[in-house]
Structure 1
């Protein structure tokens, strides 16, 4: 494969990552307008999102099997076409059960067929010395693509007479883009079959999962990611908080959502990696700082008056939280290599830890919607769920647990290193008489 063809393939594949998940996670930018556009209550939409999270969590385990059995290129194209069909069907507002079916299809396509296939497709574009660079640039290109597409989407919604109508057109546009990228991948993406064969199996076997369940780091790492993921999955609920309780202009909410969701993705992630490498030299230690910062932000939101006079303070706090969350997302899986999980156990550890890590997607949208209710209603904070006060108390508790768990991981690893050093230090030579 020529160098130019390799980088064209890489660029197209990376850009698909900035398109295929847009509708599935559109709530991070347009939460309320999407529920209105789909003619759903906030609670019904949250319940559908939770079902999506459950199916996605299960599909992560099957993704490796698909990637081993079928061509990564064929899987990526199939996933893009399937997601495009789901997006266009969703844009027709097919009712509760149709919307639920579309989200299930998006979960199967995105997590079952697409993600593991994309990892393999990117991996076969370079040798072992290029893998770090390839996957680093993958995140960057995905982030830039998501940001550009997100700002275009914000402009479409803002220019519409009604936000809900704009969201429907945006969903349809994302569906069309999925078809466009499917054609581009089919026509222009090339792979090296020899390198593909050398990548080995991606399937996580029951035996690997059994070994992973006995590895303490599976639970420490999975629990750490799960606690931070609680913050990530609730970020979409900050939009109605800013708009309805702090009086932020509705025209700014979409722009803020794009910055919060996509800009921080490619800015904070690499920054977190640099801090781990150059400053803390320990991922659990770095994550402990991040959890401590998240606890501080949650505490400040608890005491900050819900008044328009404090809207810019609230926005600054939200952006600070985004910096902490996305810096963490950039490095938390580095713990697997840092604690030296054996190569033949890493697939199982990552698979089982991922099932635990992304568990919040399966329940937190439903619970958060019940806590918050309809933020545009009067009174803004419902009595039955405790409102945003309950949400921030929950996040504060998750952050404090995260501080404890990362401290435990750090101390466990240091004890292991100390024990290993003690075993390898040669015994002192006897003193000659």
Structure 2
């Protein structure tokens, strides 16, 4: 890696770890479900409601996160979010009653999304030049996947050891302490390492970005066709990310996969994540991010089509694993381009939050409707037919995404030429 990104690698690593660790507290209950349930004396319904409280606040936070990100300094938002998330984690050590737990999970929806996520995207964008955005986000997404693998293995090992030596509850307490301390430490590290980017932009839109969040800028962004195209790209690819876990029960139902293989398929996605993200970032900067997006959609379409037509026989299980790997790798390759592609739309870093508002509201709406669509498919069509209908819908969305990416290239033709020219000048110098 050359240029601006190379100088900022230490900061990028901290942002990668922070981007993974801040979400461990809201979600770790799923990995230690029974222990968490017993320790906090909850019913299964109450356990599910904790996730709902977090999800509702996340949805609200997606709406206002862009405003917050462009209104206050990125460094302060990231650090405060990590501090607040860690402190809320420490309150779990009191093993509070259910109503207090609801408030904690609702608050996490704000600290991990509204004040953090868009600010994090803005920070990653600021660490790289225009012709390094693919690598920046490829390494960011791939790094988060690698961090997840390492973190989960270490914490699970710690939990297993302390469970044998002490008790389940004390082991759970140690997990909570570890995650909470890590969040607070990362908050301090970002405060020390991250430097706010300078504004050296020239055109009208970029000059207005000095005003931080500006409703006039938002209205202008909404009139830009690239904004709606980028939203569709996120929507069509994120729908797959919202639905890939249905592949596991499909493998069990159609191919007679054992419960062990089915469980392994869930973890397998995380091992494919670094491959797809790293590869997407490196290749994207060489051939153009939108070209990488087109390749990603094509590969994803091939994987989904193969999944639909592959005969459901145990003898085809290895071939099934190959196509699942293709789907996982292309899925995460596309995810790594969600915000890297903004450079081709000519959006300055300073207004990333404003741009992200419509992108996240539309793009991440799959979190709401895809589970409903999937459930309706499985309820209406019995056996494996329901899964195949669902995969067909995802294939249709993938094709829509592919068409959108082709249109994007036509709309952004001049900006993409400028990026190529800038890259050549950098190499020549």
State the partner residue of 2:329. Answer: 323
1:229-283 deviations in Å (ceiling 9; x for gaps): 111111222233334443333334444323303x3332221211232333xx333
Asked whether the 8 Å contact 1:228–1:325 carries over to 2, the reply is yes
- Which blocks of at least 5 consecutive residues in structure 2 are unaligned? 1-7, 200-208, 418-429
Aligned residue among 16, 21, 24 for 1:22: 24
Aligned residue among 40, 63, 67 for 1:58: 63
**Cα pair distance change 1:70/1:274, threshold 3 Å:** closer
Quote the Cα distance in structure 1 between the aligned partners of 2:170 and 2:264. Answer: 17
Aligned residue among 263, 275, 297 for 2:283: 275
- Alignment partner of 1:247 is 2:252: no
- Note the C-alpha offset of 1:318: 1.5
Aligned residue among 269, 272, 291 for 1:264: 272
Asked whether the 8 Å contact 1:63–1:203 carries over to 2, the reply is no
- Provide the alpha-carbon RMSD of the alignment: 4.9
- Note the C-alpha offset of 1:398: 0.2
Q: Counterparts of 1:255-404 in structure 2 under 5 Å?
A: 255-261=264-270, 263-278=271-286, 281-341=287-347, 347-372=353-378, 383=382, 387-404=386-403
**Cα pair distance change 1:221/1:9, threshold 3 Å:** closer
- Note the C-alpha offset of 1:136: 6.5
Asked whether the 8 Å contact 2:308–2:391 carries over to 1, the reply is yes
TM-score by length of 1: 0.70
**Cα pair distance change 1:134/1:75, threshold 3 Å:** farther
Quote the Cα distance in structure 2 between the aligned partners of 1:255 and 1:55. Answer: 34
SS of the residue 2:412 aligns to:
helix
Quote the Cα distance in structure 1 between the aligned partners of 2:308 and 2:32. Answer: 24
- Alignment partner of 1:196 is 2:196: yes
1:93-147 deviations in Å (ceiling 9; x for gaps): 95xx8887665433212111233455677789x7989x97877655454332211
**Cα pair distance change 1:173/1:318, threshold 3 Å:** farther
- Alignment partner of 1:111 is 2:113: yes
- Alignment partner of 1:80 is 2:88: no
Asked whether the 8 Å contact 2:35–2:172 carries over to 1, the reply is no
Asked whether the 8 Å contact 2:252–2:259 carries over to 1, the reply is yes
Asked whether the 8 Å contact 1:59–1:108 carries over to 2, the reply is no
SS of the residue 2:24 aligns to:
coil
- Which blocks of at least 5 consecutive residues in structure 1 are unaligned? 1-5, 374-380, 419-433
Quote the Cα distance in structure 1 between the aligned partners of 2:196 and 2:10. Answer: 18
Higher helix share: 2
Quote the Cα distance in structure 2 between the aligned partners of 1:197 and 1:25. Answer: 32
Quote the Cα distance in structure 2 between the aligned partners of 1:29 and 1:300. Answer: 32
